[in-house]
């Protein structure tokens, strides 16, 4: 069974490339090559997407304009982009924690929807002042996500089931669990209103437990989610780099055996990291619930779990770097919502997103290969 | 009663076929040391391309070839990224899955596809009339018979051919394989190409064989069930196919139970194959031994 | 005639090396670890591409780009760490390097034939993982011989063999050379082996050939001098030579002699890896005892007064594959003594190392420190109980290559450098600087990634960290393996000092000479249990060797 000894990206820099270690004293042309490659592969990604749009007989220009309108064109669309970024960032933070511990959790999509479902039940059934219930929603959503992730953790540490496969399969189970809940009137399905048919969704949360919003409604306005997410990103960044806990996580991720010897237990620290990443995914679900959807239904997660994971990949496992990446991906998602008016299917956004990740992964991997090739001929 | 049983069994076999094609491929990829999670992408891409091909050429069987080519291309991309550039195989698989899901959804909304173009069913004369067994085994669309030929071939390829020997060495102990003069990464790339070919065929069969059309995200995680089947089978071909049958049967029950008047909730039945896969792994993961270097990227000079 | 000449790049493992080997001879290639022997052979096998130089076979220049070409040209190598795939059967492994169709029956017959011809019987249908190390090596040799190579290369073949198995091996080699006119290249750093088994010998040092001798016209002492490159004290020479007789004269022992810590390596600059670092594939070369310089008479430290500090009682353990690793191992260790555990590689030494690294849980039996039982296998338990470990494979469990030197110096002991869960950078650096100075670790800065340090300095980091935790017990597993002379001397000295300061030292080594140099008491491990024990003064090498081979004598 694989233990996933490698962090989920190609090349982790061997350390801070400070002046003390000028081993990679490559000529200037080589150092310029990597940014050049980035530019090249990113434009290639966009070009492919544009080509796709053109192939189906639509205008890439229209698509670009619509994307711009939907993401940056007006105050409200900028707000939209930022709102979209918040859950992405939360998921990404969790992914970073797991990845640093050498664990690849790819079931955020499931952890997110379970978190949201738990949050919805708290929001619907818990009495109390709005602010308190809101806090409880977010907290319980995080706990729900962590518990869902703990299934994979138990399967792995107790039975040796591969984390990647387990978290992946649990997504499908999670979707059905939530679907089950929103189809049962005694669980989360909305209460019947005389004269109306009910749908497979929960009731709407009362307004007092919604995340506060800032700004003017038709113009620029954003939810509080992004502030929470950004604060968490910075906090986790410091925790990972400055705290004992972060040190242990890193130690475990880089060398599990040495970690074990030094008293860092894989089950406690690694399992904890997996649970933490589930908690962040669940929190993202809670934030989506209280920030924009206000009710839960089938398909609630809407790929946010996967996209958040991709944010972490692009940000190279750095929570602070994940902030701009999440904003960018959020803008893409927001822009995608605007595509409907042009008749271009919004799925093109998913294509662009995936291509972008490949485009970002490629240059580092390529540089690593080059470095290794050079090393092999000189080192022997 | 016999009729009902044979209907359910026949449908179990039918639902197993796409899984089994892909599982043969995944089995090869894993024996070479790659946990290939882009098998989902390969199946989905294969399914879409098959319907697209069938629409363009008017022939569902040609569609199958389109599907295989699509799988092959995805396998090629995966192989280049993970066994040439050294990008983590899960990352590649995940991104490819997202890419293909987006791409097929996008194209589905943009292109007009045929909705009822299926490959021919072949009733093998006489024996297909045998009660119970006949409809279960000998009355299927022709690719099913291809599968029956394919399975022993895959076994031979992995267990008896030089290619298979080198493949297994690459999956078990790449360092040793390397000093013996085997190009480990190349073998792993080749395994992924074969996996793409077969998974593409599996997806294609699902689309132009069973369903006759393409729906958005029509594989819906079947690729991941295929991975579970390989684990379930303890990295043996026999076990892998048995795993596919189990998961196929679970799927068939989902469709058949309501017709039989058994009331079980839909969500449970949809989740059943995944739950079963998880349970199977839970009980078998420790007893089965995976290839020694499964999921570990090969870098020369690290022991 | 086989004439091989090999020139090799500038910053090199092998610089301008010429080597010629004639058919019908066993040619020894002698040198310390990092002298460039393995690299040279890798070039010959096509595993490493040389910067310059060429290979002449029968006078004709040949380009050998990969192992398959080498095989086709009649060059085969028996690798030090075997090139076999455990899960495959013997015949499958032997078919592995071929081309074309796999003919099972044919290969099985060939295996039997070759086995008979050379006296190397193996069952073609056995799984390699079920075989003993000696049998595996036989498979490896059959794999090479069945292709009827003209040149057979053996890389440190005896490091995993018992004395008897080694003798058998040399008989086979002699037959190969005498009856079939093949050429054999024997890579070794063991002088007695070279003297007994070879016809000619080429000595390498720091990537260059420093001598060519007819074996019959030289002796161990002369070879040792050439290999090490300076006159050796009697004690060191004996260690290097691997001739135990010299060591066994009790009484007058050598006082602190020879160049000691002045020899400590030059600081390795990060952008220019030293030749040593380049030439030593980390951990892949067996320990080299030659530089061991005991500063004082090892056996004079008294241990009579102190009680037992560490006790292992009837320890049993199995691997995840259910293979028994330890079978009732029992030993006792007193404060201030060095107990050497001798044994042929693969007899449970790694398991003992893992046990003390908290990596191996016991199925039965106990480990006690000071009478308190330690939970074996629980993360950090051994460390917390005051057991320091210098592990056999430092890259696997000794250090973290992608962390900085400073971080590697603290790993387990975050207490002193953190407050309320937060790490203090300044305290971390302070502590690191102190240790770097104390242990003379050559690093550009505490922030340098561990990966960029030479093997010797990495080992010093491990040593510094373990000693700075003030352990009661120090377990050193193959502490000098893969290190250059300066580092070996340093290591030896430090272990000795550690014992003097009252630490109980457990030394695990496959190099008998290393054990004999350092320990006061010697225990022999065989198949996961201690089969015998004796005081340094009573050592009888013949008996020791037999115990290592599994005979109780």
**CB nearest C102 (choices: B162, B291, B303):** B162
Q: Closest Cα to residue B234, out of A102, C96, C87, A167?
A: C87
Q: Does the pLDDT at position C280 exceed 50?
A: no
- Helix (H) or strand (E) holding C419, with range, is strand C418-419
Higher model confidence: residue A304 or residue B277? Answer: A304
Mutation target vs C (from A99, A102, A254, A258; most C CBs, 10 A cutoff): A258
Tokens of C214: 């007819």
Q: Does the pLDDT at position C489 exceed 50?
A: yes
pLDDT digits (tens, 9 = 90+) for C163-175: 778 888 888 888 8
The DSSP symbol for B205 reads I
Least confident window among A120-124, C176-180, C261-265: C261-265
Give the chain B residue whose CA is nearest to the CA of A7: B88
Give the pLDDT band (50/70/90) at residue C41.
confident
**CB nearest C83 (choices: B161, B168, B179):** B179
Q: Which of residues 125-184 of C touch B (CB under 8 A)?
A: none
Q: Closest Cα to residue B42, out of B25, B30, B57?
A: B25
Higher model confidence: residue A25 or residue C320? Answer: C320
Residue A315: CB atoms within 10 A of its CB come to 24
Give the pLDDT score at A226: 94
Helix (H, G, I), strand (E, B) or coil at C214: strand
Q: Which residues of C touch B165 (CB under 8 A)?
A: 88, 92, 95-96, 102
Burial status of residue A185 (CB atoms within 10 A of its CB: 0-12, 13-18, 19 or more): exposed
CB-CB contact of C526 with C133 (8 Å) = no
Give the pLDDT score at B127: 62
Tokens of A290: 């209280």
Q: Which residues contact A250 (CB under 8 A, 6 or more apart)?
A: A100, A101, A240, C403
Phi, psi of B141, rounded to the nearest 5 degrees: -70, 150
> Is C361 an 8 Å CB contact of chain A?
no
Mean pLDDT of C341-364: 88
Q: Tally the domains of chain C.
A: 2
Mean pLDDT of A40-64: 88
Mean pLDDT of B57-83: 92
Pair C65, C195 in one domain? yes
Q: Which residues contact A317 (CB under 8 A, 6 or more apart)?
A: A7, A9, A12, A95, A96, A99, A100
Q: Does the pLDDT at position C221 exceed 90?
A: no
CA pair distance A280, A346, nearest whole angstrom: 27
Contact A10 B88 (CB under 8 A): yes
Q: Does the pLDDT at position C14 exceed 70?
A: no
pLDDT digits (tens, 9 = 90+) for B125-184: 666 666 666 666 666 678 888 898 999 999 999 998 999 999 999 999 888 888 888 889
Measured CA to CA in angstroms, residue C133 lies from A174, B131, C165 at distances of 50, 58, 10
Identify the chains in contact with B, defined as 3+ C-beta pairs within 8 A: A, C
Q: Which residues contact B257 (CB under 8 A, 6 or more apart)?
A: B264, B269
Residue C251 lies in a domain: no
Burial status of residue B95 (CB atoms within 10 A of its CB: 0-12, 13-18, 19 or more): buried
Give the pLDDT band (50/70/90) at residue B265.
confident
Give the pLDDT score at C427: 87
Residue C240 lies in a domain: no
Structural domain range at position C403: 262-548
Q: Which residues of A touch B227 (CB under 8 A)?
A: 165
Place of tokens 């919805």: A120
> Is C396 an 8 Å CB contact of chain B?
no
CA distance to partner chain B, nearest, from residue A46 (Å): 13
For chains B and C, count residue pairs whose Cβ atoms are closer than 8 Å: 61
Pairing of strands C422-423, C418-419: antiparallel
Least confident window among B238-252, C58-72, C139-153: C58-72
Q: Domain boundary residue among C183, C218, C253?
A: C218
**CB nearest C383 (choices: A250, A262, A266):** A262
pTM tops 0.95: no
Give the pLDDT score at A308: 94
The CB-side HSE value for B275 (13 A sphere, CA atoms) comes to 13
CA pair distance C170, C141, nearest whole angstrom: 12
> Is C281 an 8 Å CB contact of chain B?
yes
Contact A179 B267 (CB under 8 A): yes
Q: Does the pLDDT at position C194 exceed 60?
A: yes
Give the chain B residue whose CA is nearest to the CA of C105: B160
Give the pLDDT score at B302: 46
Pair C278, C153 in one domain? no
Give the chain C residue whose CA is nearest to the CA of B303: C284
CA pair distance B2, C161, nearest whole angstrom: 66
Q: Which residues of A touch B86 (CB under 8 A)?
A: 10-11, 365, 368-369
Give the pLDDT band (50/70/90) at residue C34.
low
CA distance to partner chain B, nearest, from residue C522 (Å): 31
Q: Does the pLDDT at position C10 exceed 90?
A: no
Cα radius of gyration rounded to whole Å, chain A: 22
Residue C419 lies in a domain: yes
Q: Does the pLDDT at position C431 exceed 80?
A: yes
Place of tokens 């290249």: C185
> Is C52 an 8 Å CB contact of chain A?
no
Give the pLDDT band (50/70/90) at residue C211.
confident
CA pair distance C488, B41, nearest whole angstrom: 54
Give the residue extent of every domain in chain B.
2-217
pLDDT digits (tens, 9 = 90+) for A129-165: 989 999 999 999 999 999 999 999 999 999 888 899 8
Q: Does the pLDDT at position A7 exceed 60?
A: no
> Is C283 an 8 Å CB contact of chain A?
no
Give the pLDDT band (50/70/90) at residue C31.
confident
Mutation target vs B (from C68, C96, C451; most B CBs, 10 A cutoff): C96
Q: Does the pLDDT at position C325 exceed 70?
A: yes
Give the pLDDT score at A101: 94
Q: Which residues of C touch B162 (CB under 8 A)?
A: 95, 98-102
Lateral strand order in the sheet of C324-334: C324-334, C308-318, C364-369, C372-374
Residue C147 lies in a domain: yes
Q: Does the pLDDT at position B66 exceed 90?
A: yes
pLDDT digits (tens, 9 = 90+) for A179-217: 999 988 888 888 877 777 777 888 888 888 899 988 887
pLDDT digits (tens, 9 = 90+) for C449-488: 888 887 788 888 999 999 998 899 999 998 887 776 677 8
Q: Does the pLDDT at position C4 exceed 60?
A: no
Give the pLDDT score at C306: 55
Q: Domain boundary residue among C184, C218, C252?
A: C218
How large a percentage of chain A has pLDDT more than 90?
48
Contact C51 A255 (CB under 8 A): no
Pair C208, C105 in one domain? yes
Contact B165 C281 (CB under 8 A): no
Q: Which residues contact C380 (CB under 8 A, 6 or more apart)?
A: A260, A261, A262, A263, A264, A265, C358, C412
Residue-by-residue DSSP string for A93-132: HHHHHHHHTT-----HHHHHHHHHHHHHHHHHH--S-HHH
- Helices (H) and strands (E) counted in chain C, each on its own, are 19, 22
Give the chain C residue whose CA is nearest to the CA of A248: C411
Q: Which residues of C touch B172 (CB under 8 A)?
A: 85-88
> Is C53 an 8 Å CB contact of chain A?
no
Give the pLDDT band (50/70/90) at residue A250.
very high
Pair C371, C291 in one domain? yes
Lateral strand order in the sheet of C338-342: C387-390, C473-477, C504-509, C338-342, C521-526, C529-535
Mean pLDDT of chain C: 77
- Helix (H) or strand (E) holding B1, with range, is none
CA distance to partner chain C, nearest, from residue A21 (Å): 6
**CB nearest C421 (choices: A14, A244, A258):** A244
pLDDT digits (tens, 9 = 90+) for B75-99: 999 999 988 888 888 889 999 999 9
Q: Does the pLDDT at position A105 exceed 70?
A: yes
pLDDT digits (tens, 9 = 90+) for C496-509: 899 999 899 999 98
CA pair distance B36, A78, nearest whole angstrom: 38
Residue C349 lies in a domain: yes
The DSSP symbol for C128 reads G
**CB nearest B173 (choices: C79, C86, C281):** C86
pLDDT digits (tens, 9 = 90+) for C513-548: 788 888 889 999 988 889 888 888 887 777 777 777
Q: Which residues of B touch C482 (CB under 8 A)?
A: none
CA distance to partner chain C, nearest, from residue B230 (Å): 18
Contact C411 A262 (CB under 8 A): yes
Least confident window among A187-201, A241-255, A305-319, B51-65: A187-201
Higher model confidence: residue A162 or residue C275? Answer: A162
pLDDT digits (tens, 9 = 90+) for B179-202: 888 889 999 999 999 999 999 999
The residue count of chain A comes to: 380
Q: Domain boundary residue among C192, C218, C244?
A: C218
CA pair distance A290, C478, nearest whole angstrom: 60
Give the pLDDT band (50/70/90) at residue C394.
confident
Higher model confidence: residue C66 or residue C195? Answer: C195
Pair C102, C158 in one domain? yes
Residue C309's domain is classified under what CATH number? Answer: 3.40.50.300
Q: Does the pLDDT at position A26 exceed 70?
A: no
Residue C108 lies in a domain: yes
Contact A306 B35 (CB under 8 A): no
Contact A263 C379 (CB under 8 A): yes
CB-CB contact of B263 with B252 (8 Å) = no
Q: Does the pLDDT at position A3 exceed 80?
A: no
Give the pLDDT band (50/70/90) at residue A174.
very high
Q: Does the pLDDT at position C322 exceed 80?
A: no
Measured CA to CA in angstroms, residue A246 lies from A100, A250, C422 at distances of 9, 6, 9
> Is A353 an 8 Å CB contact of chain B?
yes
Residue C226 lies in a domain: no
- Helix (H) or strand (E) holding A72, with range, is none
Q: Which residues of B touch C95 (CB under 8 A)?
A: 162, 165
Residues facing residue C155 across a β-bridge: C187
Q: Closest Cα to residue C13, out of C32, C27, C2, C22?
A: C32
pLDDT digits (tens, 9 = 90+) for B194-230: 999 999 999 999 988 888 888 888 888 889 889 989 9
Residue C227 lies in a domain: no
For chains A and C, count residue pairs whose Cβ atoms are closer than 8 Å: 123
Mean pLDDT of A15-40: 56
Helix (H, G, I), strand (E, B) or coil at C487: helix
Least confident window among A115-124, A216-225, C203-212, C340-349: C203-212
């Amino acid at each position: 069974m694989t233990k996933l000894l490698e962090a989920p990206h190609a090349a982790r820099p061997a350390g801070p490339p400070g002046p003390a270690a000028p081993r990679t004293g490559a000529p200037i042309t080589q150092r310029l090559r990597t940014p050049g490659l980035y530019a090249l592969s990113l434009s290639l990604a966009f070009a492919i997407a544009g080509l796709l749009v053109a192939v189906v007989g639509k205008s890439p220009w229209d698509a670009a304009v619509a994307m711009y309108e939907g993401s940056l064109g007006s105050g409200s669309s900028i707000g939209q982009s930022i709102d979209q970024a918040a859950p992405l960032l939360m998921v990404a933070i969790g992914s970073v924690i797991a990845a640093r511990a050498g664990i690849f959790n790819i079931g955020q999509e499931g952890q997110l929807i379970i978190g949201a479902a738990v949050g919805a039940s708290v929001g619907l059934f818990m009495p109390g002042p709005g602010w308190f219930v809101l806090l409880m929603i977010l907290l319980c959503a995080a706990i729900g996500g962590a518990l869902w992730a703990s299934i994979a953790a138990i399967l792995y540490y107790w039975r040796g089931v591969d984390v990647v496969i387990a978290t992946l399969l649990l997504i499908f189970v999670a979707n059905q669990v939530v679907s089950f809940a929103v189809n049962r009137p005694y669980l989360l399905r909305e209460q019947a209103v005389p004269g109306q048919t009910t749908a497979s969704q929960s009731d709407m949360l009362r307004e007092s437990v919604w995340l506060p919003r800032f700004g003017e409604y038709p113009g620029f306005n954003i939810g509080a989610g992004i502030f929470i997410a950004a604060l968490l990103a910075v906090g986790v960044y410091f925790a990972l780099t400055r705290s004992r806990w972060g040190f242990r996580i890193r130690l475990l991720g880089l060398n599990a055996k040495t970690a074990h010897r030094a008293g860092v237990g894989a089950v406690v620290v690694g399992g904890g990291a997996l649970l933490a990443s589930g908690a962040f995914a669940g929190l993202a679900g809670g934030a989506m619930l209280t920030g924009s959807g206000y009710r839960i239904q089938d398909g609630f997660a809407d790929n946010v779990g996967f996209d958040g994971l991709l944010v972490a990949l692009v940000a190279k496992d750095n929570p602070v770097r994940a902030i701009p990446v999440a904003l960018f991906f959020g803008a893409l998602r927001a822009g995608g919502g605007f595509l409907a008016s042009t008749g271009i299917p919004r799925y093109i956004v998913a294509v662009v997103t995936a291509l972008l990740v490949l485009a970002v992964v490629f240059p580092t991997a390529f540089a690593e290969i080059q470095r290794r090739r050079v090393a092999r001929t000189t080192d022997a | 009663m016999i009729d009902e049983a044979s209907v359910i069994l026949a449908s179990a076999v039918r639902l197993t076929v796409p899984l089994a094609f892909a599982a043969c491929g995944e089995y090869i990829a894993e024996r070479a040391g790659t946990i290939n999670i882009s098998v989902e992408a390969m199946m989905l891409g294969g399914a879409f391309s098959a319907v697209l091909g069938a629409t363009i050429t008017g022939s569902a069987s040609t569609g199958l070839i389109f599907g295989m080519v699509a799988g092959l291309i995805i396998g090629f991309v995966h192989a280049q990224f993970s066994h040439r550039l050294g990008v983590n195989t899960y990352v590649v698989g995940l991104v490819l899955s997202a890419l293909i899901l987006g791409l097929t959804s996008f194209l589905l909304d943009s292109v007009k596809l045929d909705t009822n173009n299926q490959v021919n069913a072949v009733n093998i004369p006489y024996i297909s009339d045998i009660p119970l067994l006949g409809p279960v085994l000998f009355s299927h669309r022709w690719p099913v018979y291809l599968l029956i030929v394919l399975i022993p071939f895959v076994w031979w390829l992995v267990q008896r051919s030089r290619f298979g020997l080198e493949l297994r060495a690459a999956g078990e102990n790449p360092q040793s394989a390397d000093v013996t003069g085997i190009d480990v990464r190349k073998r792993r790339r080749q395994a992924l190409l074969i996996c793409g070919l077969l998974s593409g065929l599996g997806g294609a069969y699902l689309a132009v064989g069973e369903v006759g059309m393409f729906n958005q995200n029509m594989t819906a995680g079947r690729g991941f069930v295929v991975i579970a089947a390989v684990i379930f089978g303890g990295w043996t071909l026999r076990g892998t196919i048995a795993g596919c049958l189990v998961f196929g049967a679970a799927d068939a029950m989902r469709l058949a139970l309501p017709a039989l008047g058994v009331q079980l909730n839909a969500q449970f039945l949809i989740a059943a194959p995944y739950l079963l896969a998880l349970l199977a792994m839970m009980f078998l993961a420790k007893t089965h031994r995976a290839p020694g270097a499964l999921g570990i990227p090969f870098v020369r000079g690290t022991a | 005639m086989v004439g091989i000449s090999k020139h090799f790049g500038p910053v090199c493992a092998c610089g301008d090396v010429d080597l010629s080997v004639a058919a019908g001879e066993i040619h020894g290639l002698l040198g310390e670890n990092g002298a460039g022997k393995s690299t040279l052979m890798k070039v010959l096998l096509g595993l490493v591409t040389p910067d310059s130089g060429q290979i002449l076979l029968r006078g004709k220049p040949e380009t050998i780009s990969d192992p398959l070409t080498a095989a086709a040209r009649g060059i085969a190598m028996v690798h030090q760490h075997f090139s076999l795939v455990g899960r495959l059967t013997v015949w499958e492994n032997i078919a592995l390097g071929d081309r074309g169709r796999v003919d099972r029956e044919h290969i099985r017959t060939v295996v039997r034939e070759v086995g008979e011809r050379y006296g190397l019987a193996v069952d073609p249908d056995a799984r390699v993982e079920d075989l003993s190390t000696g049998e595996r090596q036989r498979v490896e040799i059959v794999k090479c011989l069945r292709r009827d190579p003209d040149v057979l290369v053996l890389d440190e073949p005896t490091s995993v063999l018992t004395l008897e198995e080694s003798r058998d091996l040399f008989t086979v080699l002699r037959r190969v050379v005498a009856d079939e006119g093949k050429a054999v290249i024997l890579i070794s750093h063991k002088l007695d082996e070279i003297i007994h088994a070879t016809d000619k010998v080429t000595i390498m040092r720091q990537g260059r050939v420093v001598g060519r001798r007819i074996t019959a016209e030289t002796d161990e002492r002369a070879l040792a001098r050439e290999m090490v490159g300076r006159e050796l004290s009697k004690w060191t020479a004996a260690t290097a030579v691997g001739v135990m007789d010299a060591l066994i004269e009790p009484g007058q022992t050598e006082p602190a002699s020879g160049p000691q810590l002045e020899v400590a390596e030059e600081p390795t600059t990060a952008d220019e890896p030293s030749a040593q670092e380049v030439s030593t594939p980390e951990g892949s070369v067996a320990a080299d005892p030659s530089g061991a310089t005991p500063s004082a008479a090892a056996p004079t430290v008294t241990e009579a007064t102190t009680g037992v500090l560490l006790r292992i009682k009837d320890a049993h353990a199995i691997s995840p594959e259910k293979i028994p690793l330890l079978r009732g191992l029992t030993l006792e260790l007193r404060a201030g003594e060095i107990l050497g555990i001798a044994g042929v590689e693969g007899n449970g030494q790694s398991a003992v190392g893992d046990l003390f690294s908290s990596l191996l849980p016991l199925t039965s039996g106990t480990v006690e420190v000071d009478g308190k039982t330690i939970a074996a296998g629980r993360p950090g338990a051994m460390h917390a109980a005051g057991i320091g470990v210098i592990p056999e494979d430092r890259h696997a469990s000794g250090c973290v290559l992608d962390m900085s030197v400073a971080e590697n110096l603290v790993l387990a002991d975050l207490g002193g450098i953190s407050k309320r869960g937060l790490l203090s950078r300044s305290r971390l650096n302070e502590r690191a600087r102190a240790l770097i100075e104390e242990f003379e670790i050559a690093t550009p800065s505490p922030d340098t990634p561990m990966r960029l340090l030479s093997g010797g300095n990495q080992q010093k980091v491990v040593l510094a960290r373990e000693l700075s935790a003030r352990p009661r017990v120090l377990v050193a597993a193959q502490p000098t393996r893969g290190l250059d002379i300066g580092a070996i001397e340093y290591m030896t000295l430090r272990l000795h000092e550690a014992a003097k300061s009252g630490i109980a030292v457990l030394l695990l080594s496959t190099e008998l000479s290393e054990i004999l140099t350092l320990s006061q008491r010697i225990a022999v491990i065989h198949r996961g249990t201690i089969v015998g024990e004796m005081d340094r003064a009573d050592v009888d090498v013949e008996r020791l060797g037999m115990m290592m081979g599994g005979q109780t004598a």
